[in-house]
């Protein structure tokens, strides 16, 4: 069998960094510099019947309004319509417009502003439910065979120490 010849159709490393300065939309001055101009650009497009139907369908699928608003403004930055900072200032107005449209149509939507749950803080109800499921799965004789001494405090990661073996730093290990 003949060896497969290598393909040299791939881009050269660093090729994306060789474009002429100013040839990309974000390297030029923005089309809109004021927040009012940016909002006057976005609001009519968002509320147009065809675009509004698409956005409402997306919100109905469960995509958070914050994600939609961020995507809309970031696309404007990449097209050179406005700068990132003006886009960030436009996000709350875009979010309110999208939420108003969803409320008007009676569509349930997720705003996306809920705080994330702390992974280290597990609710006691979840712990109790997990313990209940574990007890149901365990055979009855396994729960009876191990009795816990309630009087003796339990210390996690307590090393097992044999009193006959020396435990000093320089003691010989057996």
Between 171 and 135, the more confident residue is 135
d(CA 146, CA 153): 16
Closest CA to 54 of 110, 107, 114: 107
**Cα 112 → chain centroid:** 11
pLDDT digits over 109-157, tens only?
888 877 655 566 777 788 888 888 888 888 765 555 555 555 666 556 6
User: What pLDDT, on a 0 to 100 scale, did the predictor assign at position 136?
Assistant: 84
pLDDT digits over 11-30, tens only?
778 777 777 877 877 778 89
pLDDT digits over 46-94, tens only?
999 999 999 999 999 989 999 999 999 999 998 999 999 999 999 999 9
Closest CA to 101 of 63, 35, 51: 51
pLDDT band of 100, cuts 50, 70, 90? very high
Could you tell me the two tokens for 165? 């073996």
Could you tell me the two tokens for 141? 């004789």
User: What pLDDT, on a 0 to 100 scale, did the predictor assign at position 103?
Assistant: 94
């Amino acid at each position: 069998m003949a060896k497969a010849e290598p393909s040299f159709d791939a881009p050269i490393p660093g090729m994306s960094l060789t474009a002429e300065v100013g040839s990309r939309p974000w390297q030029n001055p923005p089309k809109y510099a004021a927040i009012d101009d940016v909002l006057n650009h976005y609001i009519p497009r968002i509320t147009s019947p065809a675009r509004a139907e698409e956005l409402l369908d997306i919100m109905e699928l469960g995509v958070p309004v914050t994600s939609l608003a961020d995507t809309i403004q970031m696309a404007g930055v990449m097209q050179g319509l406005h700068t990132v900072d003006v886009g960030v200032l436009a996000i709350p107005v875009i979010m309110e417009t999208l939420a108003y449209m969803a409320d008007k149509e009676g569509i349930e939507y997720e705003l996306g502003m809920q705080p994330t749950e702390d992974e280290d803080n597990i609710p006691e109800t979840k712990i109790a439910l997990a313990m209940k499921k574990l007890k149901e799965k365990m055979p009855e004789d396994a729960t009876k065979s191990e009795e816990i001494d309630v009087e003796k405090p339990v210390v996690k990661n307590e090393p097992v120490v044999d009193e006959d073996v020396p435990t000093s730093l320089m003691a010989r290990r057996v």
